[in-house]
Amino acid sequence: RLGDIRERAVTLGDIARIYRAKGEVDAALALHQEQLEIFERLGDKDGTANTLWSIAQIDMAREQWQAAYDHLSQSYAINKELGRLDGICYVGFDLGRLLAMADHKQEALVVLTRSRDGFARLGHTQMAQRSQEIIDAITK
């Protein structure tokens, strides 16, 4: 039974990403919110963190900066708690850019440096370079 519920949440996320790609962000957001409720009810922290990141991406596209920050910071904290390096890197990349845009340079540098170093450890050289470019722009 739990597997069926979790599988439903995963499928909702897949469908939400399709809606988002087609520009139907309201439908995508509704599915992600349903997905989030399921993961939270199951205590699935990894699923919760990933869904929060997906919601934050919609928030950023809509320029809803406070909501994006709230969702990214929650996702980032969960990824750090779980030790999920990929999540720390990718969510951190978005969080760091958002912090830099909000002129929170010191926080942005800490987050982006962690992402850059993590990307390098994962062998994601292009993302490590993109992180470094943002770090360079902040420190100019």
Mean pLDDT of 15-39: 96
Q: What is the pTM of this model?
A: 0.93
Question: Locate tokens 């996702």: which residue?
Answer: 75
**What is the separation of C-alpha 70 from the centre of its chain, rounded to a whole number of angstroms?**
11
Instruction: Say if residue 1's pLDDT is above 70.
Output: no
pLDDT of residue 80: 98
- Alpha-carbon gap, residue 17 to 31, rounded angstroms: 9
